[in-house]
A and B are shown apart, each in its own frame.
Chain A
Amino acid sequence: MKLITGNAPHVRANDTTSKVMTDVIIALIPAIIGAWYFFGGYALFLILLGAVTGELFELFIMRVLRNDKSFTPNGSAAITGILLAMNVSSATPWWVFLIGLAFALGIAKHAFGGLGMNIFNPALAGRAFLLVSFPVAMTTWYKPVLSFTKWIDVQTSATPLAILKETGNVNVGYWDLFIGNRGGSIGETSVLLLLVGFIYLVIRKRIKIMIPISYISTVFVMSSVFYFVNPSFGTPLFHILSGGLMLGALFMATDMVTSPMTIKGQAIFGVGIGVMTLLIRYFAGYPEGVSLSILLMNAFVPLIDKYTMPRIFGEVES
Chain B
Amino acid sequence: MKLSTFLGGVHPPENKHLSKDYPIKKAPLPEKVLVFMQQHAGSPAKSVVNKGDKVKTGQVIGEPTGFISSYVHSPVTGTVVDVKKVTNVIFGKAVEVVEIQREGEDEWELLPHGNYEDFSNEELVEIIKKAGIVGLGGAMFPTYVKLMPPKDKKIDYLVINGAECEPYLTIDHRMMLERQEDILIGIEIVKKILGIKNVAIGIEDNKMDVINLLQNKWKGKINVIPLKTKYPQGAEKQLIYATTGRKVPRGKLPMDVGVVVLNVSTLYAIKEAVIDGKPLVERGLTVTGEAVNKPGNWWVRIGTPISWVIENLGGGFKENVENVKVLMGGPMMGIPINNIDTPLVKGNNGITTLIPKEQKSTFCIRCSYCVNVCPMGLQPYLLDLLGKKKRYDEAVEIGLLDCIECGSCTYICPAKIEHVKTIKLAKKVYKALRGGKK
Contacts and interface: CB of A to CB of B under 8 A. Distances in A.
Contact of B322 (A2, A310, A312): A2
A82 to B, nearest CB: 17
A65 interface: no
A190 B252 CA distance: 54
Given A7-B421, A13-B414, A256 B366 contact: yes
Contacts of B366: 116, 256-259, 261
Contact of B411 (A4, A9, A20, A311): A9
Interface string A1-16: 1111111111111011
A304 B377 CA distance: 17
Given A13-B411, A114-B363, A2 B336 contact: no
Contacts of A15: 412, 414
Interface in B322-350: 322-327, 331-340
A305 B421 CA distance: 23
A9 B333 contact: yes
B323 A2 contact: yes
A74 B362 CA distance: 10
Contacts of B337: 3, 5
Interface in A19-51: 19-20
A17 B410 contact: no
Contacts of B436: none
A1 B316 CA distance: 12
A116 B411 contact: no
B419 to A, nearest CB: 10
A2 B336 CA distance: 12
Contacts of B13: 11
A309 to B, nearest CB: 6
A132 interface: no
A74 B366 CA distance: 15
**Binding site secondary structure of chain A:** loop
A246 to B, nearest CB: 22
Contacts of B364: 116
B242 to A, nearest CB: 12
Nearest to B317: A1
B367 A8 contact: no
A11 B412 contact: no
Contact of A10 (B325, B367, B398): B325
B379 A310 contact: yes
A10 B324 contact: no
B100 interface: no
A1, A8, A208, most chain B CB atoms within 10 A: A8
A314 interface: yes
A140 interface: no
Interface string B389-415: 000000000110010010100111111
Interface string B412-429: 111110101100000000
Contact of A11 (B336, B382, B399, B411): B411
Contact of A16 (B6, B331, B416): B416
Given A3-B326, A10-B336, A309-B398, A19 B414 contact: yes
B365 A116 contact: yes
A11 B368 CA distance: 20
Interface stretch (B91-99, B190-198, B213-221, B243-251): B243-251
A312 B250 contact: yes
B323 A4 contact: yes
Nearest to B372: A263
A64 interface: no
Taking residues whose C-beta sits less than 8 angstroms from the other chain, chain A's interface range is 35 or more
A17 B333 contact: no
B359 interface: yes
B332 A256 contact: no
B252 A314 contact: yes
A313 interface: yes
A312 B381 contact: no
B12 interface: yes
B13, B325, B366, B416, most chain A CB atoms within 10 A: B366
A116 B415 CA distance: 10
Contact of B250 (A7, A20, A258, A315): A315
B237 A256 contact: no
B332 A6 contact: no
Nearest to A310: B377
Nearest to B6: A313
Interface string A107-149: 0000000111100000000000000000000000000000000
A12 B377 contact: no
B309 interface: no
Contact of A262 (B324, B359, B368): B368
Contacts of A11: 12-13, 167, 331-332, 354, 411
A312 B251 CA distance: 11
A3 B324 contact: yes
A15 B13 CA distance: 13
B260 interface: no
A316 interface: yes
B399 A5 contact: no
A259 B250 CA distance: 29
B327 to A, nearest CB: 6
B376 interface: yes
A316 B249 contact: yes
Nearest to A262: B371
Contacts of B375: 313
Given A3-B338, A117-B363, A12 B410 contact: yes
B418 A7 contact: yes
A311 B377 CA distance: 6
Contacts of B323: 1-2, 4
B356 interface: yes
A16 B418 contact: no
A316 B247 CA distance: 10
A103 to B, nearest CB: 21
A313 B379 CA distance: 12
Nearest to B15: A11
B414 A8 contact: no
Contact of B362 (A6, A7, A17, A258): A17
A259 to B, nearest CB: 7
B381 A8 contact: no
Given A6-B336, A8-B331, A312-B376, 10 more contacts: A4-B324, A8-B336, A13-B12, A13-B411, A208-B368, A261-B368, A310-B379, A313-B250, A315-B249, A316-B250
17 contacts: A1-B322, A3-B336, A3-B340, A5-B336, A6-B325, A8-B334, A8-B407, A10-B325, A10-B352, A19-B414, A76-B365, A116-B366, A261-B382, A310-B379, A313-B377, A315-B377, A316-B249
